Amino acid sequence: MSNEQENTKKEALITIRTLLESGENEELLKFINDELYAADLAEFAYDLSLEENISLLNLLDELMAVDMLKDMETGLQEKILAAYDPETIARRFIDWMDSDDAVDILNQMNIELRDKVIAHMTDLEASRNIVSLLQYREDVAGGLMAKELIKVNINWTVSQCTDEIRSQAENVTKVYSTYVVDDQEKLVGIVSLKDIILANARTKVEKIYSDEVISVNTYTPAEEVAQMMRKYDMVVLPVVDTLGRLIGRITIDDVVDFIKEEADKDYQLMSGLAEDVEITDRVWILSRARLPWLLIGLLGGIASSRVIGLYEGELGAFPQMAFFMPLVAAMGGNAGVQSSAIIVQGLANNTLGSTNILPKLGKEFTVALLNGLICAALILGYNLIVGNSQALALTVSIALLSAIVFASLLGMIIPLLLNKFQIDPAIATGPFITTTNDLLGLGIYFSIGALLL
Amino acid sequence: MSNEQENTKKEALITIRTLLESGENEELLKFINDELYAADLAEFAYDLSLEENISLLNLLDELMAVDMLKDMETGLQEKILAAYDPETIARRFIDWMDSDDAVDILNQMNIELRDKVIAHMTDLEASRNIVSLLQYREDVAGGLMAKELIKVNINWTVSQCTDEIRSQAENVTKVYSTYVVDDQEKLVGIVSLKDIILANARTKVEKIYSDEVISVNTYTPAEEVAQMMRKYDMVVLPVVDTLGRLIGRITIDDVVDFIKEEADKDYQLMSGLAEDVEITDRVWILSRARLPWLLIGLLGGIASSRVIGLYEGELGAFPQMAFFMPLVAAMGGNAGVQSSAIIVQGLANNTLGSTNILPKLGKEFTVALLNGLICAALILGYNLIVGNSQALALTVSIALLSAIVFASLLGMIIPLLLNKFQIDPAIATGPFITTTNDLLGLGIYFSIGALLL
């Protein structure tokens, strides 16, 4: 965020706070209406107190309140909704939401509260939609889709389509395409609003629709949905059931959020955070998310101490050996992470290709060898210049080269293996591989040292 | 990708290869037409040889060829286009592209070739659009936008809008909204296709348009564009010049790619890759992207050797000190990366809040202290159980606790400082901070050791 934006945001925040405190509600609503969108308010929610957020939500009209609430992170949503009873949650919020957003919020509640909220809904069609969506897991197409969509029968005329759009206009706020179904409700094609505008009112849908429509099944994994929408530049993706009947649609905004969350997750795996945490979470949750990786590090450290312990005699006789332990260990770790990151990204972006992967791995190996040689030569030069013993200098350089090459090999092979067994290869770039490579580097270093010194 | 998809892909690839080789062009075109989209072909391009890609592109009709080409990574695009002369590039590809995609490709060429290609274009309006887009940097809104859009005058009737949509239908393939401008071409609002369908043909635009339209300037940074489209759930964003005149639009598919690329960049920074590299790049480029971080690691390793060297006497007398060096160093590094990752993500997602950041940092500190205490207690237990000396056990635990706490503090402060000075805070999670924390951990370990042993 630029500093200018930052300042505008701070000023708006002060205005909201002041008006909230002095109870000048009309003034506040006017300010919000003129200057802000619901998504801005959702951002401000992180700076406002719980009481301020609730006063603000109570003041806003239903559609704005719903939009503000749905744009917050789940942790904050939960805190705020805990202040409302089930009936108010149903009538002020859930009744006014698109079915996919409503389901996201209901899924965070315990089942008892969830059912109470649904029982209090007044919009019966909406509650039926929600109940049918709640059956899907959150990580499949069914869990991402909304029920609100516009479908037309292939035998209709354009003017019947217009009528259908009119009758659905209130439920479906953003319309990009109209789906074409046959008499069995099976998805057979798509007709764009542009084509509806340009066609004559009496033209039959079957004359103007396109049968090239990409759809997914309710059980298609969310990750595949995101990949498809990105690959085919889609703004909305229809979802069908096992019989091919159209039952929902997924919009790009949900997928954009999903892509961002997945990237965040990879980033967190890599930085050694085991759960999806926000800085707004409780201390214990934050601590728990980090402990697993710290414990792996601890175990790795203990293993290192065992490896080094085997060479206690050599170390006592030749304490300079200890000087370059951190260097060899850390460089192996760095090179390993670099290799695995390249492979993980190649797998994620499908640029690795699915056949003929060996020449690419060969290239990776050449890179590791080249960089290993450069680093080994540099450290050899350093050791000779500062006057360390030739045996030590040679040990460090040979160990460094071997550590870099072996760590790179492991860094390539581990993500490929994980991917083969359908495990997220991003795990391979986390503290796990760093720790393994630390150990590997030390083992190599001391074996060579024992030979040469 | 699931194994099933993987297999379908492999089969399609074999079919394409076989038909290409045997020269059964009609067969091949029919297969592609029935089974595949251009984006699929772009994915296959990584598995096909250069010659196969070129034969395929020559076979496809212009629109399909253009779509296949634009979906590839730039490295592969360059290799393929190098096989064509400027005139063919202009007439087979650039003439048929949307202006934003054309500019992306032209921007990779040297200026001489670029100008030759543009001179050979036959679509004069398209070439004018391209020349006007080439003036913008790639990382601002002007560099992301396309010129193709539908705009209507506020004084027009709905039927005039329909005529305009008809006349632009060929240029603007996907239409989501129509922009409303005044007589000075200034953007004043938006009218959705849904509203056009539902309105009477003689209704004036001014009666049905919405003046709530979010737009950006040509010089708005791309990152801000992506944040806005994600925040406000937008599918297309209009771009205006300094006088507020509508001159282009940015579509969500470009922004989705941008978000993905930014996430990839953070991931690469963290894994110690200094440039945006693909596994398809040359060995020397891959090597160069990694060397800077390896060299930082090397310098850090040399610095470590200096720190340890100060304690050579102690090490000779008490070689067990060396056993836990890797543990203390690595754990400091891990804890530091965890803290900085939380801060970097909080900054990127705006969940850190802009005011009142101190309590959140206090919480971070508590987490570091808690985890440090747990780890220190565990290692103390281990050392006492395996019968290491009490002095060593105490040294390791105190050093471990201090290293975790200090590294976490650094991990919080450095990204915040970088962000303050408008430097990408993601740098703080890379090898730089690991190396610093390695050093810090060793320094603490030996100072405490010198006191206690």
**pLDDT tens digits, B144-175:** 999 989 999 999 999 999 999 888 877 777 77
| A350–B316 CB contact, under 8 Å | no
Question: Measuring CA to CA, how many Å separate A377 from each of A407, B295, B314?
Answer: 18, 12, 30
Specify the pLDDT at position A3. 55
Q: What percent of chain B has pLDDT over 70?
A: 96
Window from A116-120, A239-243, A376-380, B336-340 with minimum mean pLDDT: B336-340
Nearest to B260 among A230, A340, A356 (CB): A230
Mean pLDDT throughout B109-137?
93
Cβ atoms of A426 and A270 closer than 8 Å: yes
DSSP-derived secondary structure letter, A427: G
Specify the pLDDT at position A1. 46
Specify the pLDDT at position B291. 87
φ, ψ for residue B216, nearest 5 deg: -125, 165
- Please tell me which residue, B273 or B179, carries the higher pLDDT value: B179
Neighboring chain A residues of B196 at a CB cutoff of 8 Å: 197
Q: Exposed, middle or buried: residue A387 (CB in 10 Å: 0-12, 13-18, 19+)? A: exposed
CA distance B366 to B371: 9
A11 Cβ contact list (under 8 Å, min separation 6): none
Nearest to B341 among A43, A260, A267 (CB): A267
Nearest to A375 among B174, B175, B298 (CB): B298
Window from A266-275, B138-147, B359-368, B411-420 with minimum mean pLDDT: A266-275
Minimal Cα distance from B44: which residue of A?
A: A353
What type of residue is A197?
Answer: I
pLDDT at A350 over 90: no
Window from A42-56, A259-273, B24-38, B270-284 with minimum mean pLDDT: B270-284
- Say which residue the tokens 């690991």 belong to: B434
| B198–A169 CB contact, under 8 Å | yes
Q: What percent of chain B has pLDDT over 90?
A: 50
DSSP-derived secondary structure letter, B204: B
Cβ atoms of A407 and A339 closer than 8 Å: yes
> For residue B51, how many other CB atoms are within 10 A of its CB?
10
Q: What is the DSSP string of A218-258?
A: TTSBHHHHHHHHHHTT-SEEEEE-TT-BEEEEEEHHHHHHH
Nearest to B337 among A194, A271, A291 (CB): A271
Minimal Cα distance from A302: which residue of B?
A: B327
Minimal Cα distance from B370: which residue of A?
A: A287
Specify the pLDDT at position B346. 81
Q: What is the DSSP string of A157-226?
A: BHHHHHHHHHHHTTT--S--EEEEE-TT-BEEEEEEHHHHHHS-TTSBHHHH-B-----EETTSBHHHHH
Which residue(s) pair with A177 in the sheet?
A192
Q: What is the CATH number of domain A151-253?
A: 3.10.580.10
Which residue(s) pair with B251 in the sheet?
B236
Mean pLDDT throughout B342-360?
76
| A198–B169 CB contact, under 8 Å | yes
Cβ atoms of A396 and A377 closer than 8 Å: no
Number of cross-chain residue pairs from A and B with Cβ atoms under 8 Å apart: 383
For chain B, how big is the Rg over CA atoms in Å? 30
Residue boundaries of the structural domains of chain A: 3-138, 151-253, 283-452
Q: Classify domain B151-260 at the CATH superfamily level.
A: CBS-domain (3.10.580.10)
The pLDDT confidence band at residue B428, using thresholds 50, 70 and 90, is: low
Window from A7-16, A101-110, A217-226 with minimum mean pLDDT: A7-16
Nearest to B324 among A224, A301, A422 (CB): A301
Which residue(s) pair with A243 in the sheet?
none
pLDDT tens for B302-318 read 998 998 888 888 888 88
Burial per residue of B111-136, b for 16 or more beta-carbon CB atoms within 10 angstroms, e otherwise? eebbeebbebbebeebbebbeebbeb
Specify the pLDDT at position A288. 85
Cβ atoms of A319 and B315 closer than 8 Å: yes
What is the average pLDDT score of chain A? 88
Q: Exposed, middle or buried: residue B22 (CB in 10 Å: 0-12, 13-18, 19+)? A: exposed
Q: How many residues does chain B have?
A: 453
For chain A, how big is the Rg over CA atoms in Å? 30
The pLDDT confidence band at residue B1, using thresholds 50, 70 and 90, is: very low
Specify the pLDDT at position A190. 94
The encoded tokens of residue A245 equal: 């009947």
The encoded tokens of residue A390 equal: 């030739």
The pLDDT confidence band at residue B3, using thresholds 50, 70 and 90, is: low
CA distance B234 to A251: 11
Mean pLDDT throughout A82-102?
94
CA distance B233 to A425: 30
| B301–A233 CB contact, under 8 Å | no
Specify the pLDDT at position A291. 87
Neighboring chain A residues of B329 at a CB cutoff of 8 Å: 326, 329-330
Nearest to B322 among A221, A315, A340 (CB): A315
Cβ atoms of B341 and B407 closer than 8 Å: no
CA distance B105 to B102: 5
| B280–A46 CB contact, under 8 Å | no
Mean pLDDT throughout A181-189?
96
Specify the pLDDT at position A2. 54
DSSP-derived secondary structure letter, A425: G
Burial per residue of A53-65, b for 16 or more beta-carbon CB atoms within 10 angstroms, e otherwise? bbbbbebbeeebb
pLDDT tens for B371-425 read 999 999 999 999 999 988 899 999 999 999 999 999 999 888 888 888 888 887 7
Neighboring chain A residues of B276 at a CB cutoff of 8 Å: none
The 3-state DSSP class for residue B174 equals: coil
The 3-state DSSP class for residue B187 equals: strand
* H/E element, A151: strand A151-153
Mean pLDDT throughout B102-124?
93
Neighboring chain A residues of B198 at a CB cutoff of 8 Å: 162, 165-166, 169
Mean pLDDT throughout B335-341?
86
Specify the pLDDT at position B266. 76
CATH class of the domain comprising A3-138: mainly alpha
| B287–A435 CB contact, under 8 Å | no
Q: Exposed, middle or buried: residue B362 (CB in 10 Å: 0-12, 13-18, 19+)? A: exposed
pLDDT at A60 over 60: yes
Minimal Cα distance from B361: which residue of A?
A: A279
CA distance B118 to B106: 9
Q: To 10 degrees, the CA torsion angle through B188, B97, B175, A199? A: 130
CA distance B272 to A335: 8
CA distance A115 to A368: 57
* Nearest C-alpha neighbor of B147 from the set B103, B89, B190: B103
The encoded tokens of residue B292 equal: 């800077």
pLDDT tens for B82-91 read 999 999 999 9
Its ipTM equals 0.76
Mean pLDDT throughout A122-144?
92
pLDDT at B275 over 80: no
Domain spanning A283-452: CATH 1.10.357.20? yes
- Say which residue the tokens 């699915």 belong to: A354
| A272–B46 CB contact, under 8 Å | no
* H/E element, B306: helix B283-309
DSSP-derived secondary structure letter, A146: B
What type of residue is B332?
Answer: G
| B287–A367 CB contact, under 8 Å | yes
CA distance B113 to chain A (A): 27
The 3-state DSSP class for residue B399 equals: helix
Window from A26-30, B131-135, B335-339 with minimum mean pLDDT: B335-339
| A363–B283 CB contact, under 8 Å | yes
